[in-house]
Chains A and B, each alone.
Chain A
Amino acid sequence: MGQTVKEVVIHLIGQPTALHNKLMTFGLFQGTTAQLIRDDKINKLLILGLGQKRIVLRKEELKGIELKESNA
């Protein structure tokens, strides 16, 4: 209760790539604001929230993608 959920803005860096395309199929576009639901340091995974959708990404595979905190 009252806990602020961090928000991140997706930045797709450089020319369009297959990785960018995969992100877009999951609804993550350039400029999309997503909730950072969990930054799992042990499992090295991120859970992003898009509305009620929850999307898991491997932190080590985020090359070509930048996540900037929008409400830090």
Chain B
Amino acid sequence: MRKRVFLVGQPNVGKSSVFNQLTGIRQKTGNYSGVTVERKTGFLEKTQIIDLPGLKSVWSTSVDEQISVREIQQLDPEQDAVLFIADGVNLAQDLLLFSQVADLQIPILLVINYQDEVLKQQIQINVNELSKRTAVSVLMISARTNTGIQQLKTAIQSDQFKYPNSFIRGQYENQSSNDTFQNTFSENIEQYHQNLGNAKYLSIVKKDYDLRQPLVDHLVEQTVQLPKDEHVFTDKIDAVLLHPIWGTAVFLMLMLFIFQSIFSFSGVPMDWIDGFFGAASSWANETIQPAWLADIVGNAILPGLGGILIFIPQIAILFFLLGILESTGYMSRISYLSDRWLRRFGLSGSSVIPLLSGIACAIPAVMSARSITDERERLAAILVSPFMTCSARLPVYAVLIGLIFPEDAYLWIFNVKGLILLGLYLLGTITALLAAWAFTKWKSSTDTTLWMLDLPRYQMPNWSDIFKHAYLKTKAFVVGAGKIILAFSIVLWFIASFSPHTESFFQEEIAKQTEHSEASIRLEYSYAGYLGKTIEPVIRPLGYDWKIGIALISSFAAREVFVGTISTVYSIGSEEEMTVIERLQTEVNPETGKKRFNWATCISLLLFYAFAMQCMSTIAIVKKETGGWKWPIIQTTGMMVLAYVSALVAYQVLS
């Protein structure tokens, strides 16, 4: 039995479905060390199954494909083997890659997937002839319908991996030192990847293809018979879905449905999670002894956990719906339709999903940028997607807009508050696009400028794969970001709960300041309060006082914390009959005698929250996805500077 089996194949050949069928839920998702390329592993009995990133050619230049090639080159042929997955409908393309992997001389089992589609389209594949000519075992399966999976498992367990016939490997080994190849096939691949763009190695690649392609064409001629009528069903659907008008209309309707679903379907489970953690916090505060432990569990750990777990429904729904789009083949059509608009900002159609996902939450948005092959564009999408107006900004916007516009303000038939909210969404989108434009102008790219896109054929969604995909992605979010936000929550709790003063000092202050609540006084003299006062000189030009400063600091963990903190700071608890907005509207600036939350301050705060990186989870996920602290620091600094400057200008102009 083999120790490790590596799944190799082109993108969209159903490799992940085969992986899921072989390993079930026994999967682990992580990243390759040093890079952000995802590595999925699982077990079939005692054999480790590794799903390598999709590979178009051993001569590909993207990071994930280079990793696949390196992994294959480093296999131990005594213990490891390759399960090569090909798409029966596009066998000619896949056999070209197969010939390259075969020339690396590793034990292989050739699996032809989509047997159901092959039969439906009356494609004839002579499996015996293919096996004879390649010298490897060939199996026809359909991972989607579970056909042939048991035979595949048996083949893996009974070690039916064989060394394939070489295609042009001999041409490399028999060359004189003056000829093009010079080195072995494997050495040339390594040299090529180390010298990307070098003319000598580009010539080697061309010669490799020149020699290889006729051999593969011949193999296909001898083993595959395509039906005469190649009229593709997919083209008929694409005539509508890629139509400049109808295609765009369908796309917009689908996006509307997705974002409506995220908000509509997540409301109830989010309330449950919120309620559960609220009750758990109360329970902890009332029952745990000693008091300091109750405080840290009930007021730091549980709210911190709740703060991250509350996003699970939105993230799971988003990944589930994106999984459907991916599984059906529609995702590539979205890239097609949006490319025209996004290329003006240095992006491509590949960036549309991270940007749209950012409207729900920046975390899945950042994660979904993995599908972008151009490293510069992927980085741009990661860095700018937090500008998109996420759901956490909504409560902040709702309070601030409510402070400056009355409930019944209308412009013609439109509610003014709704128009301002729409304007803030547009502001986020335009800023993200402009930031992407600036970033891609500034950062050079090693990738070729040629943007190419595969349009896979349409398929029925594979529900099992979609559920697993949503589960694994959500789990990765909770575990990855959860650890960091929990740690920050404890730190924030500490500085808000502890003070350099004694209890007798507080008793005196509470007795003196009868107009303020105890919570407000304790906060003012806590370390967080002093921190607010320390930063007051910096935020004063924006129209903020130390109390708003505390809200800014505490909402660094998550934007929505702003509302809760500002409620506490301004003693909302003592005025039960007043809403947050009503209470804040009565707050007076003691220096000017005018309203604290006037037009200028509120616009300044709106702009600050539109641009500032007030989300620890996003910082954590950007760190995870970019493999270090460099980009999250640059991103956070850039966003904070933009937030500060725009808030400053707004306040100074309007006040």
Whether A associates with B in a native complex is: yes
Contact in complex: B93, A61 (CB < 8 Å): no
B-side contacts of A72, CB under 8 Å = none
Q: Could you tell me the distance in whole angstroms from the C-beta of B448 to the nearest C-beta in chain A?
A: 4
Name B206's contact: one of A16, A53, A55, A57 (CB within 8 Å).
A16
Q: Is A45 an interface residue (CB 8 A)?
A: yes
Contact in complex: B336, A56 (CB < 8 Å): yes
Contact in complex: B196, A43 (CB < 8 Å): no
Q: Is B472 an interface residue (CB 8 A)?
A: no
Contact in complex: A43, B336 (CB < 8 Å): yes
Q: Is B126 an interface residue (CB 8 A)?
A: no
A-side contacts of B197, CB under 8 Å = 18
Name A58's contact: one of B206, B210, B451 (CB within 8 Å).
B451
The interface bits of chain B over 228-247 (1 if a CB of A lies within 8 angstroms of the residue's CB, else 0) are 00101011001000101000
Known A-B contacts A16-B203, A21-B59, A25-B59; A47 and B455 likewise in contact (beta carbons under 8 Å): yes
Contact in complex: B205, A16 (CB < 8 Å): yes
- Residue ID in chain A nearest B239 by CB atoms: A38
The CA-CA distance from A54 to B226 in the complex, in Å, is 17
A-side contacts of B205, CB under 8 Å = 16, 21, 24
Known A-B contacts A27-B96, A40-B242; A19 and B57 likewise in contact (beta carbons under 8 Å): no
| Partner-B contacts on A (CB < 8 A) | 15-27, 29-30, 37-38, 40, 42-45, 47, 49-58, 61
Q: Is B376 an interface residue (CB 8 A)?
A: no
Q: Which of B337-345, B482-490, B614-622 contacts A (4 or more CB under 8 A)?
A: B337-345
Contact in complex: B90, A22 (CB < 8 Å): no
The CA-CA distance from A22 to B57 in the complex, in Å, is 9
The CA-CA distance from A51 to B91 in the complex, in Å, is 10
The CA-CA distance from A44 to B343 in the complex, in Å, is 11
B-side contacts of A58, CB under 8 Å = 339, 343, 450-451
The CA-CA distance from A57 to B448 in the complex, in Å, is 13
Contact in complex: B199, A16 (CB < 8 Å): yes
- Residue ID in chain B nearest A31 by CB atoms: B213
B-side contacts of A27, CB under 8 Å = 92-93, 96
Q: Is B162 an interface residue (CB 8 A)?
A: no
- Residue ID in chain B nearest A41 by CB atoms: B244
- Residue ID in chain B nearest A17 by CB atoms: B202
Q: Could you tell me the distance in whole angstroms from the C-beta of B427 to the nearest C-beta in chain A?
A: 27
Contact in complex: B213, A29 (CB < 8 Å): yes
